[in-house]
Homo-oligomer: A and B are copies of this chain.
């Protein structure tokens, strides 16, 4: 490999090689792809041009030829939120000879669309999407053109795709039951905004728990934005009524963090409610009290996503499949405290 002479602002392309060698682009392509039908003289001229320019054969030419990139895109809300799942998915995909590239959508519909389309247009074979908005019609033509789509954590509305979901309703029922079993009769829910499918499932399941126990729903269910100010406001609402909540279910990790932050700053230790949080997190066991959580089975979800993706790539016309993965309660202390008597 000879370094190209002079200054360049971009990598040399096959077009540059064709120009340098004075041959057709298709001839360069045939030489790069070791087509034996290329004449010796043409092959020599192309090779000389390749050496002169420092051209490096790339995946793109191979993709154009093969029609497959062995590349899967991952478009998730934020890289860290699903990290154990992402890491598992990446590990499994890598072991299967697939390359995985991830981009975050920052919970922004427009950015999701841009990210996913950019993956599709780069010839990625499939995308694993944590979908955001209510409209995914932009995916339909990409899917028709062969893009494999698997939704993770939430289903896609519009085109029918494979999806891997956690059993949100069962998780909420476990959380509620754990608190009720420890003597709580005033249990409140604070969680993410219901425009998100997962948040909606969780809030709905919580309402169903209250109703099943014949308890009032009003004022006890607080879905909404997960900014600290909104979470603090919801907490104040449930803790400062005449019959305050003695226990809380937090609908996701961000909410759990917000609740813990607020309680640490504003509520004396012995007045704090019992808590069960949805989703486990590092250090949960080192908090005081250690946090009881509903944990998703990230390895199982990653495994299911990779299986669906692989099946979809092998058989593009198969019917869409939803996989719901069980969750489990990890009792560590915060959910096993009895009600504080006011």
List A residues at the B interface (Cβ < 8 Å).
1, 3-4, 7-16, 24-26, 29, 54-61, 63-69, 71, 73, 78-80, 83, 86-87, 90-91, 94, 99-104, 106, 111, 115, 118, 120-123, 125, 141-142, 144-147, 257, 260-261, 264, 281-283, 285-288, 313-317
Contacts and interface: CB of A to CB of B under 8 A. Distances in A.
Contact of A12 (B8, B73, B86, B145): B145
Given A80-B87, A90-B103, 12 more contacts: A7-B317, A10-B125, A11-B123, A15-B64, A25-B25, A56-B121, A58-B121, A61-B64, A73-B101, A94-B111, A101-B101, A281-B283
A103 B102 contact: yes
Contact of A141 (B1, B80, B101, B118): B1
Contacts of A63: 13, 60
B102 A102 contact: yes
A310 B184 CA distance: 57
B13 A64 contact: yes
Q: What is the copy number of this chain in the assembly? A: 2
A54 B144 contact: yes
A55 B141 CA distance: 10
A146 B10 CA distance: 6
Contact of A16 (B67, B123, B314): B67
**Most chain B beta carbons < 10 A, residue from A13, A73, A80, A83:** A80
Contact of A24 (B4, B26, B286): B26
Contacts of A125: 10-11
**Most chain B beta carbons < 10 A, residue from A29, A58, A115:** A58
Given A60-B122, A63-B60, A316 B8 contact: yes
A64 B59 contact: no
A1 B102 CA distance: 28
Nearest to A13: B67
A138 to B, nearest CB: 12
Contact of A283 (B14, B56, B106, B260): B260
B99 A103 contact: yes
